[in-house]
Amino acid sequence: MLVDRSELVHELSHEAPPRRIPRNAAEQSEQEKVWYQQIVDQTIQSSLMKRYGTTDEQAAAILFLASDDASCITGVTLPVAGGDLG
């Protein structure tokens, strides 16, 4: 479930902070939204799977590396990026 940033900031501002920590955010401009969408589209196009991985797929890789099945794997970085190697 996606939450609008302004709604989140509004809700957090009503909580009683122990130290009066301000809760503010800046909205993205339309230009920033277009730029970000271009980055997302470019990333997806460069990926072999043509999509972002799900959180379950990310978690599965982490759980594997933390399991006994990965006991012989050490000193490597496992890219879980749908084939996008940068």
pLDDT tens column, 3-34: 566 676 667 666 656 666 666 667 788 898 89
Any domain includes 38: yes
Its domain, for residue 55, covers 5-70
* pLDDT over 60 at 2, yes or no: no
The beta-carbon contacts of 49-52 under 8 Å, at least 24 apart in sequence, are 49/82, 49/83, 50/82, 51/82, 52/82
Task: Give buried/exposed letters for 25-34 (b at 16+ CB in 10 A, else e).
Answer: eeeeeeeeee
Residue 50 lies in a domain: yes
**Residue 66 maps to a domain:** yes
Domains in the chain: how many in total?
Answer: 1
